Amino acid sequence: MSHNTFGHLFRVTTWGESHGPAIGCVIDGCPPRIPLTEADIQPWLDQRKPGGSRFVTQRQESDTAQILSGVFDDGDGPVTTGTPISILIRNEDQRSKDYGEIARAYRPGHADFAYQAKYGVRDHRGGGRSSARETASRVAAGAVARRILGDGVQIRAGVVQIGPHRIAPEAIDFDAVPGNPLFAASAEVVPDWEAYLDGVRKAGSSIGAVVALEATGVPAGWGAPLYGKLDTELAAALMSINAAKGVEIGAGFGAAELSGEDNADEMRLDLNRQPVFLSNQAGGVLGGISTGQSVTARVAFKPTSSILTPRQTITRDGEETDLRTKGRHDPCVALRAVPVVEAMAACVLADAFLRHRAQVG
């Protein structure tokens, strides 16, 4: 990962600010002859799209992905050519609001102060480069990554905790995620969670959440020790998502309370004399290499810092002030992170597949 590029062989470079003319990404290293059109990308973007429910920002964006390169139709339909795939997404709702205040004052909990401290300048409009809007590029790249992985690898994520409300591990049901506006990994919790989140929203407040991830169908052998471990790459990719504050693989922090007996996943042979594990505390990764079990991870997201209550802060000019974030905001940014978590995992896995194929054939 280097600044605005991630991946080693499946490399994604993203660019663009929240309120510039467009955002986008360039995907390099994609294998050739993979059928690909905008229709393969758009459904994933539609999932992440703002404006879909009252629980996410009301910014209006069609988030239409346009492929500008790297795909060619030689008669049998558009396929990747092995050259860079450039994807462009226009920004449409660059609301002409007055940015005077946040141009001047640093929003607490936002990247404003840090960008200014680093660069001495920042595009303050809507968060500029640090806006969650950039994650649309990740989702587009993830759609391409899924095409590389094929149907054998299934990647799913869902919200498993909002504030104090948790879904018990055994109740997690990723099939429930597409059917509810909260991306909750359980249909049962939705009414309660909606009520809870409506309360947060109406109070002009916000709340954190945890997203769980599961990738099935990952064969044993992906990941490259010691610094390109599959779990290391996943941790980096997931932690790079806006508002992420923690990443766990398998048992995660729970492993700190486990004994060696409980933690080590025992092995037997199945009826076909293939290896099976009797548990999955490891989250499908041992020594940084996939084992053939499901790869599981969890990501903690902080609440958005854009809230209606005035907060103490300072200005660029060195004055103390109080700031209240006006306008649209997400009561729980983690909801829209669900497709992003999936996308980042898809990119990491596609990259791991290519790297493994390179070294081992």
- Show the tokens assigned to 320: 């103390």
294 binds its own copies (CB under 8 A): no
The nearer residue to its own copies, 95 or 357, going by C-beta atoms, is 357
Q: Min. distance of Cβ 174 from its own copies in angstroms?
A: 19
Cα–Cα distance for residue pair 334/213, rounded to 1 Å: 13
63 binds its own copies (CB under 8 A): no
Is 129 annotated to bind a ligand? Reply is yes
Cα–Cα distance for residue pair 61/43, rounded to 1 Å: 14
- Show the tokens assigned to 349: 């896995």
250 binds its own copies (CB under 8 A): yes
Which residue among 48, 49, 59, 122 contacts its own copies (CB under 8 A)? 122
102 binds its own copies (CB under 8 A): no
Say which residues have a Cβ less than 8 Å from residue 74's Cβ, sequence separation at least 6.
none
Which residue among 46, 53, 64, 82 contacts its own copies (CB under 8 A)? 82
Cα–Cα distance for residue pair 172/311, rounded to 1 Å: 37
Contact 45, 134 (CB under 8 A): no
Q: Min. distance of Cβ 173 from its own copies in angstroms?
A: 20
**Which amino acid, residue 88?**
L
Residues 25-54 that bind its own copies (CB under 8 A): 26, 28-33
Beta strands 295-301 and 209-216 are antiparallel
8-state DSSP, 69: S
8-state DSSP, 278: S
Cα–Cα distance for residue pair 194/201, rounded to 1 Å: 10
Which residue among 286, 337, 348, 349 contacts its own copies (CB under 8 A)? 286
Return the closest-CA partner of residue 229 out of 60, 113, 348: 348
Return the closest-CA partner of residue 339 out of 26, 44, 14: 44
Q: Min. distance of Cβ 358 from its own copies in angstroms?
A: 3
Which residue among 128, 142, 158, 339 contacts its own copies (CB under 8 A)? 128
Which residue among 58, 217, 228, 280 contacts its own copies (CB under 8 A)? 228
118 binds its own copies (CB under 8 A): yes
The nearer residue to its own copies, 155 or 207, going by C-beta atoms, is 207
CA 163 remoteness from chain centre: 19
Size of the site for its own copies (CB under 8 A): 154
Which residue among 96, 121, 195, 271 contacts its own copies (CB under 8 A)? 121
Is 104 annotated to bind a ligand? Reply is no
Cα–Cα distance for residue pair 350/147, rounded to 1 Å: 9
206 binds its own copies (CB under 8 A): yes
Is 125 annotated to bind a ligand? Reply is no
235 binds its own copies (CB under 8 A): yes
Cα–Cα distance for residue pair 349/153, rounded to 1 Å: 9
Tell me which stretch binds its own copies (CB under 8 A): 49-57, 191-199, 279-287, 335-343: 279-287
Residues 135-164 that bind its own copies (CB under 8 A): 161-164
Say which residues have a Cβ less than 8 Å from residue 2's Cβ, sequence separation at least 6.
none
Cα–Cα distance for residue pair 83/270, rounded to 1 Å: 43
Residues 306-345 that bind its own copies (CB under 8 A): 306-307, 309, 311-314, 318-320, 334
Q: Which residues belong to the annotated binding site for NADP(+)? A: 48, 54
Q: Which residues belong to the annotated binding site for FMN? A: 129-131, 242-243, 287, 302-306, 328
